[in-house]
Amino acid sequence: MRRALTVIHALGLMLVVFSVAYVIPVATALIYADGTLLLDFLLAMVWTVAAGVLMWMLTRRHKGELSIRHGYLLVVTMWTAMPVFATIPLLLVIPDLSFTDAYFETMSGMTTTGATVLTGLDTLPPAINIWRHELNWLGGLGIIVLAVAVLPLLGIGGRQLFKAETPGPMKESALTPRIADTARSLWVVYVAITLACIGALKWAGMDWLDAVCHAFSAMGLGGFSTHDASVGYFNSPLIEFVMIVFMLLAVLNFSTHFLALRAKSLRVYLHDAEAVASLVLILSSCFGIAFFLWWNDVYPEFLTALRHASFNLVSIATSSGYASVDYAQWPIFAPLWMMFLTAIAASSGSTGGGIKMMRTLVLVKQAGREFLRLLHPAVVNPMKIGGHVVPNSIVFAVLGFIFLYFMTIVTLTFVLLISGMDFISAFTAVLASVNNCGPGLGTVGPASNYQGLTDFQTWVCTFGMLVGRLEIFTVLILFTPHFWRR
């Protein structure tokens, strides 16, 4: 119990920091001279600060060093508590919104999933829209720092590998001052690319509000949009192209971006085995799917096919979840292949979800090792990624992670099937939630959203998003008896 109190102490502080995020919607409300919204957001801010201060004050006797166990608990409580407070403005402004739906929406934002239960997005007040998108952006920021600086220390499912693979300043393993440095440099890169994205989208033809909102959700690979028709609303190849570029940037490891910026050289990307694999896989899939669609006469012209295939495939594969057309109508191979890419294509240390390319590489190489071992029983062939040897302990951790990942998907799919959903909808809803992608197929496809789900199904998907975002182990470890044993 003492452990929980120490964590609550830290969480209180985090909430106070989080309340700073309300500044952006408050400013938006001011710009659009929306008095009631301004009050609502200020109220939400006050409540959050008050709750944070209260938690902090009440537990100040339990202030102490955070150990690794505290780390798991803190990360999970942070990712569950912040969406709770983030629902306040939504509940205040949107009438008839249940807490279940509001929490799904904010969780979807903070986990950069981008699935929504709201319709009539076009008519939502600007401040609310910007708040939803800001959650995407903050979630992305949080996950990069978490993935690069914190999770490796917890050693989850081969996470150490990602740290070992990050060259330069991230190589240190000391827990204390380096994390702050690392986090700061990543923030700078993230903010810089976001600003560039806002500028590019404005230039491509969006108004300022749309540009900011879409830049926020694109960088977080969230996929929230200010329009019910998503990016299809703009019907502009230029906007789609700009978004493809920035989604591809966001799906790469941000420490690689940092190194590339510092070295002012693109060669850095070539040395990142993950980045190369991700980009090759995504880009070749674009052409493949475009050809497939053209071949099947979905689109009469190859270039049209390429345009729609590229945007939707990049959007889904990077786990963003925008749509420009209803790709659920395409022959089933194409959308399923896109869902498959979601699971593997994102780099570690990016804002994308799923297994991550690094673990995929480990799996593929492990399979190769097994073949070699069968042919040459005496062989010694350590796994190497990017020229570095990966210790077996990490390989086991990755295998364990993959097992849990599949079990999570299977179990949650069964739960949704029990609740009465059809198979394709249940399976893709779970896949889209756990991979933090957003839209699935069937009733949760790109043309509709998660509004039609029952409360129970909504909670299952909410849980799926949280588990997927926090790399499964982090959440499930809290359910093991050993965690709570002294």
Interface residues toward another protein, by CB under 8 A: 372, 376-382, 384, 387, 389
Report angle CA 256, 262, 268 to the nearest 5 degrees: 40
Closer residue to another protein, CB minimum distance, 383 or 461: 383
Closer residue to another protein, CB minimum distance, 385 or 399: 385
Gap between the Cα atoms of 90 and 286, Å rounded: 37
Least CB distance to another protein at residue 384 (A): 7
CA 89 to chain centre: 22
Closer residue to another protein, CB minimum distance, 191 or 372: 372
Closer residue to another protein, CB minimum distance, 95 or 377: 377
Closer residue to another protein, CB minimum distance, 20 or 372: 372
Closer residue to another protein, CB minimum distance, 175 or 379: 379
Closer residue to another protein, CB minimum distance, 33 or 374: 374
Least CB distance to another protein at residue 349 (A): 24
Handedness of CA 295, 297, 301, 307 (dihedral sign): negative
φ, ψ of residue 384 in degrees (nearest 5): -125, 130
Gap between the Cα atoms of 260 and 174, Å rounded: 24
Helix (H) or strand (E) holding 218: helix 208-219
Gap between the Cα atoms of 426 and 107, Å rounded: 19
Least CB distance to another protein at residue 399 (A): 20
Residues in CB range of 269: below 8 A, 6 or more apart: 252, 256, 260, 275, 276
Burial 185-209 (b: 16+ CB within 10 A, else e): bbeebbeebbeebbebbbebebeeb
How many Cβ atoms are within 10 Å of 435's Cβ, its own excluded?
30
125's tokens: 């007040």
Closer residue to another protein, CB minimum distance, 64 or 382: 382
Least CB distance to another protein at residue 385 (A): 12
Gap between the Cα atoms of 450 and 222, Å rounded: 15
Q: Return the amino acid letter for 16.
A: V
Least CB distance to another protein at residue 374 (A): 12
φ, ψ of residue 197 in degrees (nearest 5): -65, -40
**DSSP 8-state secondary structure symbol assigned to residue 390:** E
Handedness of CA 241, 242, 247, 250 (dihedral sign): positive
Gap between the Cα atoms of 340 and 316, Å rounded: 9
Closer residue to another protein, CB minimum distance, 371 or 479: 371
170's tokens: 């991230």
Closer residue to another protein, CB minimum distance, 195 or 372: 372
Least CB distance to another protein at residue 360 (A): 21
Closer residue to another protein, CB minimum distance, 11 or 362: 362
User: If DSSP codes are grouped into helix, strand and coil, which group holds residue 447?
Assistant: coil
Least CB distance to another protein at residue 363 (A): 20
Least CB distance to another protein at residue 75 (A): 33
Gap between the Cα atoms of 348 and 277, Å rounded: 12
Contact 224, 132 (CB under 8 A): yes
How many Cβ atoms are within 10 Å of 295's Cβ, its own excluded?
11
Closer residue to another protein, CB minimum distance, 64 or 391: 391
Least CB distance to another protein at residue 279 (A): 23
Least CB distance to another protein at residue 390 (A): 10
Give the bridge partners for 385, in sequence order: 388
Place of tokens 């399976």: 427
Give the bridge partners for 388, in sequence order: 385
Least CB distance to another protein at residue 61 (A): 50
Least CB distance to another protein at residue 371 (A): 13
**DSSP 8-state secondary structure symbol assigned to residue 465:** H
